[in-house]
């Protein structure tokens, strides 16, 4: 994989793919970071009647058309999520797993804002609650932890924690859990609230059980953009942008549902085009 890009786009839904093809047309090196199923809400839509020129089209078909268009233009898409992003001398470094890539610009197109799994997540963040076990897990080596997984993407992180922690509990919020390390105890319930005053001391489950732990990790859900990129300005739980889709950070653009309603395909595609064009111009100036 080429490690230096003009644009890295976070999200492979309508906004992200629109940004990608418009940047590729302008001869930019583009990488799209997405998930196995790009834009689950669109994929599940029974019928869409308000996308101009394509009446009564199934969401799955429309998304497939978008993907084919991007692939026909050579857009590179990887099934990865960024763990953290840092900026140095005007260049952005995107970390995921044990890899890092750099880019002159970023386009955030991560969809609807992250919704907290647990009450008061913001309060406990950094006090025993985290969103990346491979990043922060070593802090809790030899201790007891509980991991909440929104999808099977969490399972490698669960196995990693089983190797270094004393007790590892796993609370999957999905069906068909894969083969996990034998040391992992799977909990058949749902989370209710975090136990603890100043720091995480455990997790209360919907069935009334209380699991004492030193840490809680919420995995597989979208990371809030301002946690991913420190300093990003948020307004009414959405990324604040101007008409050029610029955020408050130089070289960082945002498009689609993450910038606010209406949560419609046409709006996402249009914002993605504006973001892609302006990010391409910015990269040329760099």
Domain segments of the chain: what residues? 4-114+223-285, 121-219
Please report, to the nearest 10 degrees, the dihedral formed by the alpha carbons of residues 183, 36, 26, 233 taken in order. -60
Q: Which CATH superfamily is domain 4-114+223-285 in?
A: FAD/NAD(P)-binding domain (3.50.50.60)
Contact indicator for 75, 17 with CB cutoff of 8 Å? yes
Query: What is the DSSP secondary structure assignment for residue 82, as one 8-state letter?
Result: -
Q: How far apart are CA 204 and CA 32, in angstroms?
A: 38
For residues 101 and 5, the answer to whether their CB atoms sit within 8 Å is yes
pLDDT by residue (tens digit) across 67-95?
Answer: 999 999 999 999 988 988 999 999 999 99
pTM above 0.85, yes or no: no
Report the candidate in 113, 114, 110 with the shortest Cα–Cα distance to residue 271.
110
How far is residue 99 from each of residues 1, 11, 45, 126, measured CA to CA in Å? 11, 18, 34, 23
* Summary mean pLDDT of the chain: 92
Read off the pLDDT band of 189 (50, 70, 90). Answer: very high
Instruction: Please give the CATH architecture assigned to the domain spanning 121-219.
Output: 3-Layer(bba) Sandwich (3.50)
Phi, psi values for residue 168, rounded to 5°: -125, 120
C-alpha torsion sign, points 55, 61, 67, 68: negative
Q: What is the pLDDT of residue 1?
A: 52
Q: Same CATH topology for 4-114+223-285 and 121-219?
A: yes
CB 214 within 8 A of CB 140: yes
Give per-residue pLDDT as tens, 205-244.
Answer: 999 999 999 999 998 766 678 888 989 999 988 999 999 9
State the alpha helices, DSSP H only, in the chain.
14-25, 40-44, 59-72, 121-124, 133-136, 155-164, 225-228, 265-285
Question: Mean pLDDT, to the nearest integer, of 242-258?
Answer: 97
Strands (E), 11-54: 30-33
Mean pLDDT in residue range 138-154: 92
**pLDDT at residue 3 greater than cutoff 80:** no
Helix (H, G, I), strand (E, B) or coil at 152: helix
How far apart, in Å, do the first and last CA atoms of the chain sit?
Answer: 22
Pick the closest to residue 111 from 11, 34, 42 (CA basis).
Answer: 11
């Amino acid at each position: 994989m080429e490690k230096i890009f003009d644009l890295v786009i976070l999200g492979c839904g309508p906004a992200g793919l629109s940004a990608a093809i418009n940047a590729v047309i302008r001869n930019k090196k583009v990488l799209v970071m997405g998930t196995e199923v790009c834009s689950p809400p669109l994929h599940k839509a029974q019928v869409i009647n308000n996308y101009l020129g394509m009446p009564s089209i199934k969401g799955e078909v429309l998304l497939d058309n978008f993907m084919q268009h991007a692939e026909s233009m050579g857009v590179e898409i990887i099934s990865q999520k960024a763990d953290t992003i840092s900026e140095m001398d005007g260049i952005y470094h995107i970390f995921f797993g044990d890899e890092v890539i750099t880019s002159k610009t970023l386009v955030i197109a991560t969809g609807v804002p992250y919704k907290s799994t647990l009450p008061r997540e913001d309060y406990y963040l950094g006090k025993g609650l985290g969103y990346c076990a491979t990043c922060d897990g070593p802090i809790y080596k030899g201790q007891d932890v509980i991991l909440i997984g929104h999808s099977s993407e969490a399972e490698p992180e669960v196995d990693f924690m089983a190797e270094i922690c004393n007790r590892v509990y796993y609370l999957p919020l999905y069906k068909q859990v894969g083969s996990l390390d034998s040391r992992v105890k799977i909990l058949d319930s749902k989370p209710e609230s975090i136990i603890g005053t100043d720091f995480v001391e455990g997790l209360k489950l919907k069935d009334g059980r209380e699991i004492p732990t030193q840490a809680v990790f919420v995995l597989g859900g979208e990371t809030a953009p301002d946690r991913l990129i420190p300093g990003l300005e948020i307004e009414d739980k959405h990324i604040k942008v101007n008409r050029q889709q610029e955020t408050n950070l130089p070289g960082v653009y945002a498009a689609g549902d993450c910038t606010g309603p209406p949560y419609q395909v046409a709006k996402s595609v249009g914002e993605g085009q504006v973001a892609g064009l302006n990010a391409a111009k910015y990269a040329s100036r760099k």
